[in-house]
Structure 1
């Protein structure tokens, strides 16, 4: 469902619905991840469940309306440090339903459907709706994705930045800052195109990659990027082959299997979260260089390892900076 072309059409329709500089016309009706939302006016406040949603609202200059945040992987982007200092962090990880409701938000903006879906870790969308609180899930987590299968869901279509851009534009419409939304998307699109052009100009042949997010324990099968998520999009956009064949968002794959595939480059996640021992990027690097299996991979022997923020590996505005960083590292692979 929701082919890339239809997402682009939806963005275009939202962009041209009003003359340049005009505000949102209310009542505003949107379909969001299978739920119809109606707004009589711009919400006066918001609580975010997910760093991606938080940083989008900050990018839209809506930091003064954010009354609470939660689910953080790493430090906020440097340009948002000042505004973030004034916002209460309800939880580093999953917030309680009570803590979110206590803020009396006009909107709850959510990164992952599983936080507020039918089996919501925080609560269900219906529970929030019963209190008159609308919930908006970033479309990137439900468009072309089956969240009923696998621990992190399964992609039925390759992730596209278009689904993230749709979320930015719709949140801008909801909060009556449509012009700012268009500016943010235009900037991201330009940077995306430049990074792709830079990588494609290298003419790399059969260059492959694996993205390692974390591992439940240091010496067991790692969580790596499957064929459909944000890392898969980055690899395809830059002309890299993903050695992981699963369509799960973050499947576990044995190091023996990865070693046999012998990826040209290994991308590892850096994060502040410490849910697992392998969340620590230094421990990841030490493992790669000392384990009898991983240490024999060409990417490890020749130090073809790229470190990216973990949050940039999930759909977020950070996808573009990750795309730029990976494109900048690729010239070093020319002698592989």
Structure 2
């Protein structure tokens, strides 16, 4: 089975990408810093002192860069914070488990708002538009993984116009490190993620998985009687499957299309990956409800993956385009090592 060279190794062996070629790569940030972010030109006059995060991805990246002391409020959580940040996270106000109000963000008096999803802060953001924040003198930074290869004007979770790749996450890490003038921390974090990716791919390669191995990623369902939200081919789950040589039975370019169980069962994936999360918007957010459905539904229960117990539980946050996607790749690789395929 042919596996793809880890993108992280390609970066180490090849040329430095344009987004990483900055004067601050080997020295301190020169302010004012001007950069392009999701179609908007940002001017950062000085390293932010007060940041608010809208999205777990932005929160965990700032924590990983050693910037927890500058985070004055967080929001939009799918899973518990990474274990190494549990103590510090408990001291930082959580503005909302899901969507914060514009007013609650302003109340923290931030000089930067770091955002995971453009649908929270964007042209029709449910928290606010970037112009609304501009009007009160607050810079907004949206994680590039949500916009560099994605069209969010299509509604819902958006449509990928190009495949997600971890370089988009590394770009966000590198730019946030530059904004806050902590470039060494950014380089250290990117290197660690690249090493995790390479390890996961090498482990899967050693398994010699069968050709044509297929999978589906189930995030949630608005109702268990309705079609589930499953991963399209170009998002973070598509990246994981591509790196491990697995075929996604869902061919849509939408981030999370709804597809009927009859269609999924007809494709009969070898592996089903289900999202585990603390969020409870829908009944199927509960991983136990997902498991019960798969084992009792007259259609879903007949799938090969269900019959053979090839069901992998993965943190929901890893299924989004975040640095956790690299950890998700690693956990999927480990789960496959415990499975037997005929």
TM-score range, shorter chain: over 0.9
- Aligned: 1:296 with 2:296: no
Cross-structure match for 1:10: 18
Unaligned runs of 5+ residues in structure 1 are: none
Q: Is the 8 A contact 2:24 2:178 kept in 1?
A: no
Cross-structure match for 1:144: 149
Task: Give how far 1:40 is off.
Answer: 1.6
TM-score by length of 1: 0.95
Task: Give how far 1:8 is off.
Answer: 5.7
Residue from 91, 99, 102 that aligns with 1:94: 99
Q: Is the 8 A contact 2:35 2:42 kept in 1?
A: yes
- SS of the residue corresponding to residue 98 of structure 1 reads helix
Residue from 274, 278, 282 that aligns with 1:268: 274
Residue from 194, 213, 216 that aligns with 1:210: 216
Distance 2:251 2:222 in 1: 21
Task: Give how far 1:330 is off.
Answer: 1.4
Distance 1:219 1:332 in 2: 31
Q: What root-mean-square deviation, in Å, do the aligned CA atoms of Structure 1 and Structure 2 show?
A: 1.6
- Aligned: 1:105 with 2:113: no
Task: Give how far 1:274 is off.
Answer: 0.5
Q: Is the 8 A contact 2:228 2:258 kept in 1?
A: yes
Equivalent residues, number: 330
Cross-structure match for 2:199: 194
- SS of the residue corresponding to residue 189 of structure 1 reads helix
Distance 1:331 1:151 in 2: 35
Cross-structure match for 2:239: 233
Q: Is the 8 A contact 2:81 2:89 kept in 1?
A: yes
TM-score by length of 2: 0.94
Cross-structure match for 2:163: 158
- SS of the residue corresponding to residue 95 of structure 1 reads coil
Task: Give how far 1:200 is off.
Answer: 2.2
Q: Is the 8 A contact 1:8 1:162 kept in 2?
A: no
Residue from 238, 252, 256 that aligns with 1:250: 256
